[in-house]
Chains A and B, each alone.
Chain A
Amino acid sequence: MSLISFSFLLFCIITILIYFIVPKKFQWIILLISSICFLFYKNLNIYTIIQSLIVLLSSYSFGILIEKFRNEKKSKIFLLIGIFIILAQLIYLKYTNVFLRSFNLIFSLFNIKYRFILLSNKPVLIGISYYSLIMISYLIDIYRRACESQKNIFKCALFMSYFPILTSGPFIRYDNIKDKLYSQHKFNYSLMCKGLIRILWGLFKVIVISQRLGYFVDTVYGNIYTYIGFYIVIATLFFTLQLYTNFSGSIDIIMGISEIFGIDLPENFRAPFFSKTITEFWRNWHITLGAWLKDYIFYPLLKSNFIQALTHKCKNKFGKKIGKKIPLYICLFIMWILIGIWHGGDYTFIIGSGILQFVFILIEDIFGTIIIKINDKLGINMKTFSYKLYQVIRTYLLFSFAMIFFRADSVINALETIRFMFVWNPWILFDHTSLYAAGLDRYDFGVLIISLVALFIVDIGIKKFDSVRDKLLQQNIVFRWGVIYLLLFVIIIFGCYGVDYNPSSFIYRQF
């Protein structure tokens, strides 16, 4: 079920109505029932039932066992078995063909005739990449004594399948959400208004901006031999914005819905395009994935005996400063490869959202202090607005460049796109017709520019005040409702519901 569909709207209205009508002690049961309906919507079969039971039963039972044998060695064994089962299923269902294709590629490089036969597509439950990692963190948290295990299997099932987060996250932690998830919630008018505003803002981002940008991006990326040079430059810059508005917009919708239930979810974006470096960008983009990887992979890896011994050796050999960096970069590399794999496993994702990001961060870390020293010598003030603006634009351009791989169908296609991007045809920007021949006319460009200005202003507000919505709610009633109605009408009038519109095409949904 797509977040932008009539069936989802109806589904949410019915769930919210029942949620607040039933006795409050049954509210979590309503959430569980609706989550199960959402999880198996048009996808109920023996495969999906088994898939969900494997994760549920292993996380539930091993969670209890880890807690029961906390002070014994068994605890670690149970943790490892639990993680292994959940991870093995995730890898089997999502990445088997990626691995088989890689082996076939290696075979072809070495002239070996043998080829693995790819597995046929089996039905996979929606949100498997999210709930698998969420349940792994649940087991690790019990092991680390950060939380207690859930003894009620149905409550455990709700934590695993809470429907708002199944499409695009954010990643939740059991200890942070358990109280809100199972507790009783009174209907709260102001919370509902807040939730609705956030939903509207998310719809605006997805339907008015992202979908519109998508027309241009799809036209250009689908015909890179026709639309060359500046068409590709603009489409690439647009794609980054399309990805952001699509992903953060769906997160807004999700958080708004959850807020109506009285369940706060962790923020996943904090105005990422105002970041001055790629490192800072990733602190503000898909925040909960970054936090998950940091807490459950990066820190344990860095603190492992092997890496610590390596750090010790490197420090002795290369000195303290450089010595401690080498193991750090190894861990960072592993983490970015994992981020690439999580995004789908194809080489385009591994390069675009993995290796290139790692390279940018590496360069920033190595040359960061050198650049400061050079600027100091040249008398360039790095605290000025113009310098910060340069840094922000540089970050946007670098990230957009990496996203060429993310968007392309294959690595070859991405390299071709980059090749054709360097054709000099700036006149298409000024001849009043060329630009309007790639999926968006003058009217669409107008809507897009005004919408992007609105997004820009709101993101500045988020950067400054954390929440623009709270500021809006402090205004007088006329202004407040004026803005809300304006947003509603803009979505209805300027939303892209054309024949080409495919509401299920959430870019992050496939993960």
Chain B
Amino acid sequence: MEKEIYERLNKVFRDVFDDETIEVNSETTSKDIEDWDSLEHINLVVAVEQEFGIKFNMNEVTTMKNVGEMVSIIMSRI
């Protein structure tokens, strides 16, 4: 299931950041993706929410440190 989540996340990341080369893993952070700044962060979060039909709470939005943390939250919700 985790593999499938990463595949779907790749699709979301590529769509949000307009970059078909993006491959995320559990260690990926905002430093690894050039356009992933605080302005794009919410667009990404909302796109992930829509893809998986879940809601992140604000604490999770502001504290998640890497894609791995994002995946654990997704797994706990779906």
Contacts and interface: CB of A to CB of B under 8 A. Distances in A.
A471 interface: no
15 contacts: A140-B58, A145-B57, A295-B58, A298-B38, A299-B42, A300-B58, A302-B42, A303-B42, A303-B58, A303-B61, A308-B46, A311-B43, A328-B39, A328-B43, A332-B39
B43 A299 contact: no
A324 B62 contact: no
B45 interface: yes
B63 interface: yes
- Interface SS of A by simple majority: helix
Interface residues on B, range: 10 to 19
- Interface SS of B by simple majority: helix
Contacts of A324: 43
Interface string A317-345: 00001001000100010000000000000
Contacts, number: 36
Contacts of A463: none
Given A146-B63, A332-B39, 13 more contacts: A144-B58, A144-B59, A145-B59, A279-B37, A294-B38, A295-B58, A295-B62, A299-B41, A299-B61, A303-B45, A303-B61, A321-B18, A328-B43
Interface in A49-74: none
Nearest to B41: A299
Nearest to A147: B59
Interface of A: 140-141, 144-146, 279, 294-295, 298-300, 302-303, 308, 311, 321, 324, 328, 332, 365
Interface in B1-28: 18
B54 to A, nearest CB: 14
A342 B1 CA distance: 47
A294 B58 CA distance: 11
Nearest to A308: B46
Interface string B41-74: 1110110000000000111011100000000000
Question: In this complex, which of B43, B45, B57, B58 has the most chain A Cβ atoms within 10 angstroms of its Cβ?
Answer: B58
A298 B62 CA distance: 11
Contacts of B39: 328, 332, 365
Contacts of B18: 321
Contacts of A328: 39, 43
B42 A144 contact: no
The 4 closest A-B pairs by CB, nearest first: A144-B59, A302-B42, A146-B59, A295-B62
A442 to B, nearest CB: 46
Contacts of A146: 59, 63
A140 B43 CA distance: 22
Contacts of A302: 42
Nearest to B63: A146
Nearest to A144: B59
Contacts of B42: 299, 302-303
A294 B39 CA distance: 10
